[in-house]
Structure 1
Amino acid sequence: MDALPSSPRHPPKYGSAVVQNALEQLASIDLIKLCKEAKIEHCRATRDLSSCGRYVHHVLTSCGHASLCAECSQRCDVCPICRSPITDNGNRVRFRLYDKCIEAGLISKQLDERFQEKEDYGNPVNTDVQRLHSLFDVALQNNLTSLICHYITDVCLDDNAVSSDPLLAFLLDEVVIKDWCKRAVNALISEIGMIYRSGLEMMESKLSQLQKFAAQLAGIYSVLEVMIASFTEAVSAHVNDLHQLIENTLKAKQHSEAMIWCIRHRFLQDIYSRYADYTSWSSDVIQRKASAEARKWPDIFDKGSGDSEANQGTLFIEQALQNLGIEQSYRSEEEEAAITRLQNEQSSSMFCSTITADHFSLNRYPFKNLREAVDVLFLHGASDMVIAKQAILLYYLFDRHWTRPDSEWRYLVDDFAATFGITNRTLLECLVFCLLDDYSSEALEEACSLLPKISSKEAHPKIAQVLLERQRPDMALVVLKCTGRDSFSVTESIEKDGISSLSEAVTAVRVRIEHGHLTEAFVYHRSYCSRVKEQRAADMTHAGDALRSSWIYHVEGMMTEFCNICIERNLVDKMIDLPWDSEEEKHLHKSLFDYAHEMPTEPCGSLLVVYYLRRYRYLEAYEVDRSLQRFEQKKLESTTEEIASKIRKIAQWRENLVQQEIFS
């Protein structure tokens, strides 16, 4: 049984002449006449001094008017409308298009009888609209969606397509099309939901029907697109009303396509997972999260900033789910009830993309099963993120089976890619994301072996960052070179907020310093800051956002990170030899001076003195030395003898240096 209300109980015989004739007439009809074919007409012949009034199911072959019932057409000589003679050639009438579709089994006869009852006791306008909707149903079910699209552009939006008949005038309004779209989408969703709730065996038997419903949803979407594209500013309110309908239609279509794939593979019931159960999988993901948190680099941004990297997912899967906005979608009170009917009752009604150690908090990754994965991804979040959703589902498949023998599961991802048109590069990229999220050394090595195959300008910038965190600066540098992020083009434009560009630039500097290329790191840093300075003039008159958008903010972030990593890697002695400018020097001074107060047993403060001495700036060197002496004297009063000995040794070395350079 088809989902649309006008569909007959039994499918029509498409090989029969009557069906072919009805479809040919529908496909070739003058669209301005389509609404006339849907309008109920009553016989206008006079019988016993009164109007006949019976339903007219035919048109006169001589003039094409639906003015006489079958019986009256045999006894009348002229058309009551145009008064033209009725030819007596044995074939005075032919079925109207609507009635021809009923005769062919394309429209349910029982539905038409109900329409006539409503027309007798209710509003005739509604009956005519429902009959027109039935013709649209026939068009949708028989790949004639373009007919409905042309009805919008050539009839509804044509200023010349008018009628003095109020019933016909209403049928010419685009609201009729919008109402049909709503009705058809809800009917399809209802029928699809019933199939989903019938069990796997029934779903398998209804697979071809589900494919047909998905195609019909795609047809309705094309109609809605034409409506929005055709509307002018004068009717822009209709556009706002249609956006939610388009979104629900696309979600239902995308969800159905994913479900069809799942049904074909029996929801992976016959394929072993590498995890014993959901609990062990969830525990493993939590361990990945903890491992990633432990190894990640300190956040370079202000902790109070809403753009902090800390607010982004530490794992690739976590960040991907956050980018979809699924969590907000689940909490939206305006979500259409029709869409939720497609969701499995056992699937969670709430979702949290943040992975925590609390097993009993809101549901999160990993999904409990493939059905929940499809429900979470394709019934929530924006429909235009479908490619990202498919990539997350691929990640799920890789994560579920990665360590199992390829012969058991690899065909799954290949079939998924072929079904949804996913490229081999995207396939490998999803696998790399999964492997880099894994904390094992085996996963890291396999990811590194795959990186040359996916590294390009489109590669995710987080890849180099994760490789750096996992002590593979060599591979991180290879990725940066392959992606074109190993240098900063003078023609490249910084993004509006600059946060993403700054984060990538900091990663590039970190990679070079970790790899021992300090001079290259400095050149990259200087190129980036110079480009930012050209694009943004420093604006200190405004607080907050204005300061963040200034080039000074970028210089501060880059310099702070440069100094911190050099301090951690004991490269300060080499760093102070680099040709820093006055703005950069402020941050270098602050970083080294602050660290000298935090760790007085380290030589950073003394190396700051060396920095000024090498530039013959004796006054600054002397002032830094005196300030450090005062701090060290206070520190010596409250520390252990072991620490005090180290402080005295550093202070003595610095004092000798100052005496030699300044007072000799």
Structure 2
Amino acid sequence: MTSHARQQEVLDALADTSPRAYLQRGGGGGGATVLRELHEQAAEVGLAAAAAADDIARLHAMFDVALDHGLGGLVHDYLAEVCCDRTLNSSDPVEAFLLDAECVRRWVVKALAVSRGRLAGWLARGLSAPGRTGLLSKELGRLQMLQLVAEGLQQPAAPPTDGGGGGATGAAGAAAAELSEARRLVACARALSWLGGAARGLDRPAGRFSSEQEWRSVAAKRREGATAAGVGGLFLADFSAELARQGVPEASLAYPPPSPDRLLAALLLAPAGSGSTAPAAAAAKPGGKAAVPAPAPAPATSLAAGLDARMALLAYYLADGGFLPHAEIVQGLGTHYNVTPAAAHAWLLQQLLDDSHTGDAAGAQSLARAAELVPAVDGARMPHKALQVFAARGQLDAALALLRQRPESSVKLDQAAVALSVRLQNGLLGEAFMGLHRHLAAVTAVAPPAAAPELAARHARLLVGQLLRFAATTSPSAVHAVIRLPFGGVEEEAVVEWLEGQAGGGRMEAALMLPLYFLLRGRTPEALHAYARHCPRTPATQQQLELQALLTEAARMLPAPQRALVVQRGAAPALLPAGAAWGGEESGGVPLMAGIHAVATDAAPALLSVGPSPAQAPLVGSVPVLLEQQRREAAAGVAAADAEGGSGGKAAQQQQQQQQPMARSQQQQQPAPMLFGQSAPAGGARGGGAPAARPFGAPAASASDEGMLDAAGAAAVGSSQHEFDRVVGGAGGAFASAGAKVKAKRRWGGSAYL
């Protein structure tokens, strides 16, 4: 029988033997285990070394034989059938270690070290060295099997049934270093196989550049251009930073590298001391399975991300140096690394964007080529920096295409600002507004409840300001289109604040837009308030004349007391009488009708509307809502029937219809309530030009107190009738008679002075 036939016979016997039988007694006599018999047979035919210190060395030798001859699955079977079986245990320390997954892990460490040395030797001889195609294929098969075993070691093993040295504890969490190194070595072998067969231009270390010095000069120009553009640096720097986090030494990431083989060695060949450093000579001893503690396994996603960063830099280098055309790079990455075309094109696009920062004709050509690659990439997986570069370099179509592929859930303010700018520059005002609205909603949803309002307001101020600035620098029609947008609460606060600031700074356009903003929403008091504060009394432009005409017509529809309001800053929302009792304090306020002389106030008394800010006062801003809340709080202690009557609901109307006789008698006995609940003043108030200083709406002790005003009392008494459904009588000698008319002419939602 020939030597080859004898070796094949031993390999067949090894393949036919179950891993669970290795520690059983063999049939050859002498009490030798099956493992020893297999090792002796392999040593006789030259498949394994004859010298073996113990059964651990014999088992590792048989693993080597299996791996070198295409039987590497036997090691994986041993790990699954023996090491992960918690019913197998032994009191012998050596046998206990053989049953432990740590025994397999140490063999994986040795095998990876051998493969690393082979790959390093081939790289040292250059990518185009002949005569290693078959060796590379065989080595790739070995490494793929080692990767499979390393993945099996990552699986947590079951605990032993007792404390008698069960073999599962050592494999409870194998170190991720072995799996990571196995993947890198597999990638290195594939790179040698791929680039060795396509090494047309790889023999020139500088590639398309005349020298390495020229390449370094171009790389420096790119860094300077990216810094000047303010896009956060080069994509190359991002790749290098990710690799540094993965443990690649920064010194080996200098760009450009001296040669392609040096780059592969830096990216895919770990240093000799990396990974699991457990020495192969540390044989088993009592308790040996715990001699090398296994670190917690790392998530597979992080390992894949580290490999992706290496492949990205490799593709970047091959494209930048012109070693391979783009089509071959995409095809090679897909064939050898299962990289999708979208991911490969994304890496190439980032290289072209970096090259566009040179600022010369070649940079402009690279930018155009990058824009052509946009349809081939997955925008959702692209870095946001790509969108920034396209926007900064004027490629708005490409930037918009990437933006529309990205999710709208980002809460980063800088990204929202870029997205808003891209949409606005593409003329998509509605889409820009919806993107802004979605961003604020995402910020509110993600932020803590206590900080969400303030954070959303800060984002709204910046983004809405950007929107309004763009419209103001574009055209008046753009500003008109913006103020017609359906802004929400936090957005409207930002709009009003921006327009207030611009109007306060002397910008006439903003001074006219602020009243128009309120007028378009049917909020005439706020429009009059803004016009009285910011617009000149005498119209200076045709636009102001047109706005004044609109405000005049809207003011005619207001109840008389609203036309008599004087708005002033105060400590709390209130509506107070303007008179001598207040020391002329109303003189510092702003009359709503200051600039609208064509509409008379119908002799209504001057009312001082006081609030925490000029925009938050009764009947101006959001204070009507605050007053309604105060009214409801005051009505909470009243009987259910009174509360229903004060709400003006359907139930109250039905009750009023059922009790019409009682209502008529009450109307005859008590004067009808007027604005915020006050009654017509008595004769003592007729002589003066202003009402008495008593807060209106307070309970009247005598007829002379019925004409006094009080905001707090108004909110409480107002529970019987909505604030906007009451009006006040005239001033001077006609005040009491006008109040008497109210009893006979009360109208819901209108003025008694029609």
TM over 0.5: yes
Q: Which residue of 1 aligns with 2:346?
A: 429
Q: Which residue of 1 aligns with 2:106?
A: 179
Name which of 178, 181, 206 aligns with 1:248.
181
Q: Which residue of 1 aligns with 2:315?
A: 394
Letter in 1 for 2:208: R
| Distance verdict in 2 for CA 1:469–1:604, change over 3 Å | farther
Offset, 1:513? 0.9
Highest CA radius of gyration, 1 or 2?
2
Gaps of 5+ in 1: 1-12, 38-58, 69-80, 82-92, 120-126, 297-309, 332-347, 352-362, 489-493, 630-649
Name which of 19, 41, 60 aligns with 1:31.
19
The count of corresponding residues between Structure 1 and Structure 2 is 502
Q: Which residue of 1 aligns with 2:661?
A: none
Q: How high is the sequence identity, in percent, across the aligned residues?
A: 23
Q: Which residue of 1 aligns with 2:78?
A: 151
Alpha-carbon separation, structure 1, partners of 2:426 and 2:170: 58
| Distance verdict in 2 for CA 1:276–1:587, change over 3 Å | farther
Alpha-carbon separation, structure 2, partners of 1:462 and 1:15: 63
Q: Which residue of 1 aligns with 2:261?
A: 371
Letter in 2 for 1:519: G
Q: Which residue of 2 aligns with 1:477?
A: 400
Letter in 2 for 1:104: V
Q: Does 1:231 align with 2:157?
A: yes
Cα displacement string for residues 80-111 of structure 1 (whole angstroms, at most 9, x for unaligned residues): x9xxxxxxxxxxx99921111112221134xx
Name which of 89, 98, 103 aligns with 2:39.
98
Letter in 1 for 2:78: Y
| Distance verdict in 2 for CA 1:178–1:158, change over 3 Å | same
Alpha-carbon separation, structure 1, partners of 2:398 and 2:47: 63
Alpha-carbon separation, structure 2, partners of 1:478 and 1:201: 39
Offset, 1:608? 4.8
Offset, 1:514? 0.4
| Distance verdict in 2 for CA 1:418–1:220, change over 3 Å | closer
Q: Which residue of 1 aligns with 2:214?
A: 280
Alpha-carbon separation, structure 2, partners of 1:238 and 1:591: 64
Cα displacement string for residues 5-32 of structure 1 (whole angstroms, at most 9, x for unaligned residues): xxxxxxxx99821111111111111323
Q: Which residue of 2 aligns with 1:7?
A: none
Q: Which residue of 1 aligns with 2:251?
A: 349
Q: Which residue of 1 aligns with 2:355?
A: 438
Q: Which residue of 2 aligns with 1:419?
A: 336
| Distance verdict in 2 for CA 1:382–1:519, change over 3 Å | closer
> SS of the counterpart of 1:161?
coil
| Distance verdict in 2 for CA 1:575–1:201, change over 3 Å | closer
Q: Which residue of 2 aligns with 1:133?
A: 60
The answer as to whether partners of 2:48 and 2:65 remain within 8 angstroms in 1 is yes
> SS of the counterpart of 1:387?
helix
Offset, 1:138? 0.9
Alpha-carbon separation, structure 1, partners of 2:548 and 2:131: 92
Q: TM-score, normalised by structure 2?
A: 0.57
Q: TM-score, normalised by structure 1?
A: 0.63
Offset, 1:128? 2.1
Offset, 1:282? 2.9
Offset, 1:269? 1.2
Offset, 1:622? 5.5
Offset, 1:220? 2.0
Letter in 2 for 1:326: A
Q: Does 1:215 align with 2:141?
A: yes
Alpha-carbon separation, structure 2, partners of 1:130 and 1:139: 14
| Distance verdict in 2 for CA 1:593–1:368, change over 3 Å | farther
> SS of the counterpart of 1:401?
coil
The answer as to whether partners of 1:464 and 1:476 remain within 8 angstroms in 2 is yes
Alpha-carbon separation, structure 2, partners of 1:224 and 1:233: 20
Cα displacement string for residues 217-253 of structure 1 (whole angstroms, at most 9, x for unaligned residues): 3222211222221413786775555222322332233
Superposed CA RMSD in Å reads 4.4
| Distance verdict in 2 for CA 1:155–1:581, change over 3 Å | closer
The answer as to whether partners of 1:435 and 1:443 remain within 8 angstroms in 2 is yes
Alpha-carbon separation, structure 1, partners of 2:453 and 2:11: 67
Q: Which residue of 2 aligns with 1:334?
A: none
> SS of the counterpart of 2:85?
coil
Cα displacement string for residues 313-368 of structure 1 (whole angstroms, at most 9, x for unaligned residues): 4433333444x34256246xxxxxxxxxxxxxxxx6354xxxxxxxxxxx3x4444
> SS of the counterpart of 1:200?
coil
Alpha-carbon separation, structure 1, partners of 2:170 and 2:87: 23
| Distance verdict in 2 for CA 1:376–1:506, change over 3 Å | farther
Offset, 1:451? 2.9
Offset, 1:130? 0.9
> SS of the counterpart of 1:280?
helix
> SS of the counterpart of 2:147?
helix
The answer as to whether partners of 1:595 and 1:605 remain within 8 angstroms in 2 is yes
Q: Which residue of 2 aligns with 1:581?
A: 488
Alpha-carbon separation, structure 1, partners of 2:427 and 2:128: 63
> SS of the counterpart of 1:510?
helix
Gaps of 5+ in 2: 161-167, 271-300, 357-362, 552-592, 597-754
Greater shift in the superposed pair: 15-24 or 282-291 = 282-291
| Distance verdict in 2 for CA 1:538–1:138, change over 3 Å | closer
Alpha-carbon separation, structure 2, partners of 1:94 and 1:529: 68
Please show how residues 445-484 of structure 1 align to structure 2 within 5 Å: 445-454=368-377, 461-481=384-404, 483=405
Alpha-carbon separation, structure 2, partners of 1:289 and 1:657: 55
Alpha-carbon separation, structure 2, partners of 1:603 and 1:517: 23
